[in-house]
Amino acid sequence: MSSQDKMIIEVGGMSCVRCSTAVENALKRVDGVLDATVSFTSGRAEVVITPGAVTRKKLMKAISSAGYQPIEDRDTYQKRERRQHLLLFLFSAVLSFPFAVMMILMFAAPEAPLTHLLHNGWLQFALATPVQLVAGAHFYKAAFASLRNRSPGMDLLVAMGTTAAWGYSTYVLFSGGSQFYFEGAAMVITLILLGRMLESRAREKTSAAIAMLLKLKPHTVTVFRDGKWIQLDGSVVQPGDRLLIKPGEAVPTDGRVDKGSSFADESLITGESMPVSKNPGDPLTGGTVNGTGSLEMIATAVGEQTVLSGIIRMVEAAQSSKAPVQKLADKIASVFVPSVAVAAVITFVGWLIAGPSVAVAIENAVAVLVIACPCSLGLATPTALMVGMGRGAGMGILLKNAESLENACRLDTVLLDKTGTITEGKPTVTDIRVLGEWEEQRALQLAASLESYSEHPLARAVTESYAGERLPVEDFAALPGQGVSGRVDNSNVKIGTAIFTDAMQADADADEWRQAGKTVLFLSVDNTLAAMLAVADPIRPESAASIEELHRLGLKTVMLTGDRKETAQAIATLSGVDDVIAEVLPDQKAEAVKRYREKGAVVGMAGDGVNDAPALAEATVGFAMGSGSDIAMESGDVVLVGGGIAALPRAIRLSRATMRKIKQNLFWAFFYNTVGIPLAALGFLSPIIAGAAMAFSSVSVVTNSLLLRRSKL
């Protein structure tokens, strides 16, 4: 299938998962469309078409006909939507604020003049009507669209419930009555607008991961053309071109070293902190960073064929895939909404037949709608989420959306990246062994003084291990892949490999360190071995305890790493993970996640590097370490800003506690309706009592959510 057989269209105006289903169905009805997948999270429609059978304009028209917005410029749309959401919320909040004051005064000062003023029906009508008709217009529009698409959701519930409360209150006001329900309608709309505003801002960030990945590609490159080096746009590079990579520059595309020697920082791609020696013939990956030496490379893969482009495609595909679980409230709404409407009609007709009066029939039918008003249903999820997310923020846990929180409580397997997640992600000197009469501090002083002239990450590990005075260095020289040398304090000092330092006779003594996954450096002074240093990426102090806590929560733990099997196994033994998958590339990490999901596991992935982004997006829930790359944090569903891996079990406990509250809230919300609707239909509940029950259900839901603040996590 050619690339022309697939079209990507941005979609706006979706407020729940059922909206994406409605858009999908509308697209699938277009002649020439073979399949359509719409992601509510990313706001993207991926449409597979018969070549030449349908135009983009026709697909966009189908989206518009379904009641949603096809988007040409996502950034412009998001800015306009963000501004509109904010203005509507502020408009609604300002007009609803007096109702909040009134509800407080009813208990605190029921006889106060202000309380009587706020109970004035005409004042309440003046405040609530703009909220209902202006701020609530979106709910009416979405409700009509959901009916047209046969996919009723929360918008229809909100429209029906608030209209019932506002409409009946208006009827009572103009009939000379004094019992009103304006405050319920206005405050529900305000709170739901707040939730929508926060949700849309969180969803905006899904596309930021792709933008950050694209920034890794250099805009200009130095290319050898017509016998000279010239600066060209990176997009014109072709396979076979000779490119110059200066110290500190990013590698523009995939290729191999032709001339020069250096080290490449591949942590952005592989996630591994140790630099990789690059000599003629060695491969180079686009997006990695050259060290201190200049390199001439031959481009072998460009554009969409590079490793970095593959990572970008994988993140896009994972983000656009459909969520496996729909919102619980929307599922129930598909049955609840028509049931309430039927119940209200039956109540009205039944009381008309019974014969008391039309007013009685209207009153009882309205009581059914008022008791069924989804105030508590609308508050059930957002209040628990607001409290849960606030609690999480205080612990350094940022949950991006309710879907990830819902999924996190179901996890049974967690895949953990090694570098930067289980380990520190920063090489340090872990061991030193001096020989003969050498003192440890003297050996470290010589090594740190010499290495201070090098910018190699291993050199920085050595220099940071000694806080004392640096000695002057003369005749400094570096041999890439071997080590450095120079005159320090009138002595010829070398530090590097066993061959470089003439320390082959002591090389076997370092096997124990190597088996523990450490890199060994040899220090020689005047051609005599003085010390051996072990450099490693140490395990985070909290890793073992955190992994044990995950086990107590019933989760299986698996370590993913691009490192060697020996090193990975050593880290696994110390940290206590259940299983190890070593020597994996970025695409293989995502594949590993996929394999576990195909086996039926509910998979969480924790990582901090660009190489982890596809796996984070592929997982049911991606946990991004806050100390890691911005791309990993944008690709993850949960960002662990503080505490590193220690925050991971807390995040899962928080998720489980919050979901318990949401389920409890939904139970009580529907319990009131289940019990109240029959009573209202039979005439045992007046609209006043129905309104009180509705208010009580809302209070109980909010109170239950607030208890989450005191939950032990």
- Give catalytic residues, as residue numbers: 417
Provide the pairing of β-strand 579-581 with 556-560. Answer: parallel
Please state the length of the chain: 713
- Output DSSP code: residue 481: T
- CA 495, CA 488: separation in Å to the nearest integer? 12
Q: Residues 6 or more apart from 455 whose CB is under 8 A from it?
A: 291, 292
Chain-centroid distance, C-alpha 418: 20
- CA 82, CA 78: separation in Å to the nearest integer? 6
- Output DSSP code: residue 253: S
Can you give the three-state secondary structure of 492-538, one letter per residue?
EEEEECCCCCCCHHHHHHHHHHHHCCCEEEEEEECCEEEEEEEEECC
Which residue from 72, 74, 8, 68 is spatially nearest to 36, judged by alpha carbons? 8
* H-helix or E-strand spanning residue 94: helix 74-108
Structure tokens at 345: 């009609």
Which residue from 370, 401, 437 is spatially nearest to 692, judged by alpha carbons? 370
Q: Are 412 and 551 in contact (CB under 8 A)?
A: no
Q: Are 407 and 620 in contact (CB under 8 A)?
A: yes
Beta-bridge partners for 487: 474, 492
- CA 217, CA 250: separation in Å to the nearest integer? 8
- CA 285, CA 430: separation in Å to the nearest integer? 30
- CA 399, CA 384: separation in Å to the nearest integer? 13
Structure tokens at 699: 């209070």
Which residue from 89, 194, 159, 182 is spatially nearest to 373, judged by alpha carbons? 159
Please say whether the dihedral angle defined by the alpha carbons of residues 83, 84, 89 and 95, taken in this order, is positive or negative.
positive
Q: Are 167 and 365 in contact (CB under 8 A)?
A: no
